Amino acid sequence: MLDARRNALIQVRDLKMYFPIHSGLLRRHTGDVKAVDGVSFDIMEGETLGLVGESGCGKSTVGRAMLRLYEPTAGNVIINGVDVATLGAGALRKARPQMQMVFQDPQASLNPRMTLADIIGEPLNEHTDWDNAKRLARIHELMDAVGLNRRFANRFPHEFSGGQRQRIGIARALALKPKFIVCDEPIAALDVSIQAQVVNLLEDLQDQFGLTYLFISHDLSMVRHIADRVAVMYLGRIAELSPRDDLYARPLHPYAEALLSAVPEPDPTLARRKSRIILKGDVPSPANPPKGCNFCTRCPRVFDRCLTDKPALQEVEPGRFVACHLYSNTQTAGPTRGTEAKEHNQQGVSQ
């Protein structure tokens, strides 16, 4: 997955996040919700990796597990050469400044009893020994960077709009000059008119400070605008990881193809030509995923091997990774790629 022209700042290997299920009077451990089930990817220095998928697929859990806001069940998360998944409490605290998070709900993530200056300055209080003058100067610098008036420094979160509150969260994330920021659906709770402003701000800050982003979102149009590469998740696993333009022009995985067919087309002429792929059935429970491919219960191109073997994420074209038996070099069952694709085009899966 590495780009020879840039170094991988983030390396995630076989990350798993299971939540235990306890039942009965004795609360015995009877199973696990496999929210993230063996995810691997790299993020290059200065890159934005988009992570998309439907609700409940494990996107936000990936981001939180990477930053140790959740304790990962298994796997490695190497950030700037350090495996943060295995660090003890003291070492993890020292590593916190280089990895930060912008949360989805700006109102819920800000303490209503703290002023703007206290919120932005809290990381500085925790991780530096600066005096008040130096800390205030840094707070004002961050307010300028995110477009907040310095006169608002002593106001409380309820006195700001949703977009302004998200700017406060971004300023707080930037306080310790991190290298990596997880943006967990940072525009989902904002008005449409404000979303573009926040995304443009994130892009400007990336250019200014050399930031690396994991941008988690269900808004495929916005991800197309901000991301360099996009990973498509389904039921706790990555289905496809491709460069942005390649993915949107020609998705390879059947789920990515169906997901992108739902993106609205603003051009009426192109919209009339566009076919929508309607998936049948419901998403299986992450507590009891299918034995084979996670998508086999809804895939319009399923064949026998999909029901028994779990496909690995593999490079099928330069820079494009897909977890699908249609692209497996060792495929021994089911139709060939060319035959299968032809049959799929003849199916009535679009409207």
**Domain locations in the chain?**
8-227, 256-351
Residue by residue, DSSP assigns 233-246 as EETTEEEEEEEHHH
What token pair was written down for 209?
């400070």
Q: Is residue 332 within 8 Å of residue 259, measured between CB atoms?
A: no
Query: What is the pLDDT tens value at each position of the chain, 351 positions in all?
Result: 444 456 899 999 999 999 999 998 888 988 999 999 999 999 999 999 999 999 889 999 999 999 999 999 999 999 999 999 999 999 999 999 999 999 988 889 999 999 999 999 999 999 999 999 999 999 999 999 999 999 999 999 999 999 999 999 999 999 999 999 999 999 988 888 889 899 999 999 999 999 999 999 988 888 999 999 999 999 999 999 999 999 999 999 999 999 998 887 777 777 677 778 888 888 899 999 999 999 999 999 999 999 999 999 999 999 999 999 998 764 433 343 433 433 443 333 333
pLDDT of 338: 38
d(CA 247, CA 341): 17
Instruction: Decide if 65 contacts 77 (C-beta within 8 A).
Output: yes
Structure tokens at 166: 């998200």
Token pair recorded at residue 13? 């290997």
For the stretch 170-198, what's the b/e string if a residue is b when 16 or more beta carbons lie within 10 angstroms of its beta carbon?
A: bbbbbbbebbbbbbbbbbebbeeebbebb
Dihedral class, residue 58 (left if φ above 0, else alpha if ψ from -120 to 50, else beta): left
Residue 70 DSSP label: S
Q: Compute and round to an integer the Cα radius of gyration of the chain.
A: 22
Q: Mapping DSSP to helix (H, G, I), strand (E, B) and coil, where does residue 187 land?
A: coil
Residue 217's nearest CA partner among 38, 18, 14, 55 is: 55
Architecture of domain 8-227: 3-Layer(aba) Sandwich (3.40)
The rounded distance, in Å, linking the Cα atoms of 49 and 227 is 6
How crowded is residue 133: how many other Cβ atoms within 10 Å of its Cβ? Answer: 8
Which pLDDT value is given to residue 265?
74
Closest C-alpha to 217, from 62, 339, 109? 62
Dihedral angle of Cα 55, 58, 63, 65, to the nearest 10 degrees: 150
* The two structure tokens encoding residue 82: 């350090």
Output the six-digit token pair for 50.
């988009």
pTM of the full structure: 0.87
Helices marked H in the chain: 59-66, 89-95, 116-127, 132-146, 162-174, 192-209, 220-226, 244-249, 254-260, 268-273, 337-346
